[in-house]
């Protein structure tokens, strides 16, 4: 009889313990969706730079949307914050990786592309660190992400706006 009482107590307490944040599931990184080609009459160089511009704008927009959803950028232990941050990190990494995968149209663009890729890689790594901080509920590491994320995005913007070879 006593064992049955403990079992009932365990069943009653389990949902509360799970809701405390100890066992909340954190999603694995989502696979990136392959971008679809958009038909255009532009020159290959124009297409390349239009893709760069759109992708950099998308990275900035993702950050602005997260900031709008969580003003003050404070760490939260809520499940919704964790899911939203994981989605932000996954989307940011996918856009950055897709941009890195675009090949320059001529050899003259290779130095520009290399500088942009370096900034994108730094952003991807920083974003992964932020995702891991949220997964582990590590407030200190989240603050380190928060303190550096805007400078990483600014570095991508700066690299994308650098002098373009003709």
- Which domains can be identified in the chain, with CATH numbers? 28-160 (1.20.120.290)
pLDDT band at residue 24, thresholds of 50, 70 and 90? low
Burial of 26 (0-12, 13-18, 19+ CB in 10 A): middle
Tokens 């696979």 — which residue? Answer: 31
Q: What is the DSSP string of 5-66?
A: HHHHHHHHHHHHHIIIIIS---PPPPPPPPPPP----S-HHHHHHHHHHHHHHHHHHHHHHH
Which range, 77-81, 153-157, 162-166, has the best average confidence (pLDDT)? 153-157
Higher-confidence position of 30 and 123: 123
How confident is the model at residue 40, as a pLDDT? 57
Instruction: List the helix and strand counts (H, then E) for the chain.
Output: 5, 0
Maximum Cα–Cα distance for the chain, whole Å?
A: 84
Q: What is the overall mean pLDDT for the chain?
A: 84
Q: pTM for this structure?
A: 0.80
pLDDT digits (tens, 9 = 90+) for 38-63: 555 567 788 889 999 999 999 999 99
């Amino acid at each position: 009889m006593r064992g049955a009482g403990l079992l009932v107590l365990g069943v009653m307490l389990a949902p509360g313990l799970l809701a405390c944040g100890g066992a909340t599931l954190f999603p694995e990184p989502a696979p990136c969706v392959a971008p679809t080609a958009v038909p255009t009459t532009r020159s290959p160089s124009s297409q390349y730079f239009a893709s760069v511009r759109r992708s950099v704008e998308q990275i900035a927009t993702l950050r602005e949307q997260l900031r709008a959803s969580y003003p003050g950028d404070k760490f939260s232990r809520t499940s919704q914050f964790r899911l939203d941050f994981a989605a932000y990190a996954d989307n940011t990494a996918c856009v950055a990786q897709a941009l890195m995968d675009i090949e320059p149209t001529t050899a003259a663009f290779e130095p520009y592309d290399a500088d942009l890729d370096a900034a994108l890689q730094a952003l991807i790594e920083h974003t992964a660190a932020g995702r891991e901080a949220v997964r582990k509920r590590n407030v200190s590491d989240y603050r380190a992400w928060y303190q550096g994320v805007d400078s990483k995005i600014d570095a991508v913007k700066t690299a994308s706006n650098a002098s373009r070879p003709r």
